Chains A and B, each alone.
Chain A
Amino acid sequence: PEPFSGGPGVPELILQLLQLEPEEEQVRARILGCLQEPTKGRPDQPAPFGLLCRMADQTFISIVDWARRCMVFKELEVADQMTLLQNCWSELLVFDHVYRQIQHGKDASILLVTGQEVELSTVAAQAGSMLHSLVLRTQELVLQLHALQLDRQEFVCLKFLILFSLDVKFLNNHGLVKDAQEKANAALLDYTLCHYPHCGDKFQQLLLCLVEVRALSMQAKEYLYHKHLGNEMPRNNLLIEMLQAKQT
């Protein structure tokens, strides 16, 4: 993994975000610990899909924990915090997965948050067509961001932009959120211009990738809803709860 690299030309906001970034090893250990706990009322070994659902739930819990430590977000009242997370939960999950694949750096397999590798040939053979298509489309974005040389500094800044991507009219504290949006955009622009001067439109290209993250997250939600309708989702699933929550 890349070290937390500061140095000249790294805006203060990005430096702070790098400090807040959880260690992948710690997240992995916590989630593995949770998955090894027996499920209440269902002592049998859960099916692979059930495990994936619990893994996604636990990943989202880590994301909520990150958001709660983020500047500006932690100053907001809980109502605004919920509105922001209800807007972007699936995008944050998709982007987290995408960045893990960029670090993984292998075209033929995907790396799960637990550290397990799954061959794409296995996905093709064992996952249904909806999940397979979602995985392939995600891999295209991974390649695109890899070609753009997305680095850790840009990743943390984009993640922060996703968290605050909602129109402020839906929030109580307009001022604080608008200020965060403007500062994060300015930080990303300054950083890309300073560190990638040969690639003048990197800032715009990164923002365009967020449009694809949004589209992928919509597709992922359609997949979850399909599984929910087929009674295939575990009970008390956090993602299904997020899916069913009233949107702004």
Chain B
Amino acid sequence: PCQGAEGRPAILYALLSPSLEPH
């Protein structure tokens, strides 16, 4: 349930989202 398409880890994808600025 916590994986997106193609076994992609959804939380990691969200953390790497370009819209999210690194601290």
Docked CA distance A61–B15 (Å): 8
Residue of A nearest to B7 (CB): A246
For B7, the chain A residues whose CB sits under 8 A away are: 244-246
Minimum Cβ distance to chain B for residue A30 (Å): 8
* A78 contacts chain B at the CB level, 8 A cutoff: yes
Interface positions of A from 30 to 78, Cβ below 8 Å from B: 61, 64-65, 68-69, 78
For B23, the chain A residues whose CB sits under 8 A away are: 65
Interface positions of B from 1 to 16, Cβ below 8 Å from A: 2-3, 6-13, 15-16
Inter-chain residue pair count (beta carbon < 8 A): 50
For A64, the chain B residues whose CB sits under 8 A away are: 12, 15-16
For A241, the chain B residues whose CB sits under 8 A away are: 2-3, 9-12
By the criterion CB–CB under 8 Å, are A81 and B16 in contact? yes
* A188 contacts chain B at the CB level, 8 A cutoff: no
By the criterion CB–CB under 8 Å, are B22 and A65 in contact? yes
- A78 and B9 contact, Cβ closer than 8 Å, known pairs A68-B22, A236-B2: no
Minimum Cβ distance to chain B for residue A40 (Å): 15
* A186 contacts chain B at the CB level, 8 A cutoff: no
Docked CA distance A78–B3 (Å): 16
Minimum Cβ distance to chain B for residue A53 (Å): 14
For A68, the chain B residues whose CB sits under 8 A away are: 16, 22
For B8, the chain A residues whose CB sits under 8 A away are: 82, 245-246
Residue of A65, A236, A242 touching B12 (CB-CB under 8 A) = A242
For B12, the chain A residues whose CB sits under 8 A away are: 64, 82, 85-86, 238, 241-242, 245
Docked CA distance A236–B12 (Å): 12
- A78 and B16 contact, Cβ closer than 8 Å, known pairs A240-B2, A241-B3, A244-B2: yes
Residue of A61, A65, A78 touching B13 (CB-CB under 8 A) = A78
For A245, the chain B residues whose CB sits under 8 A away are: 3, 7-9, 12
Docked CA distance A85–B11 (Å): 12
Docked CA distance A236–B23 (Å): 23
- 23 A-B residue pairs with CB within 8 Å: A64-B12, A64-B16, A65-B22, A68-B16, A78-B16, A78-B18, A82-B8, A82-B9, A82-B12, A85-B16, A238-B11, A238-B12, A241-B3, A242-B12, A244-B2, A244-B3, A244-B9, A245-B3, A245-B7, A245-B8, A245-B12, A246-B6, A246-B7
Known: A78-B13, A85-B16, A241-B12. 5 other contacts (CB 8 A): A65-B15, A69-B22, A82-B12, A241-B2, A241-B11
Binding site for A on B (CB under 8 A): 2-3, 6-13, 15-18, 22-23
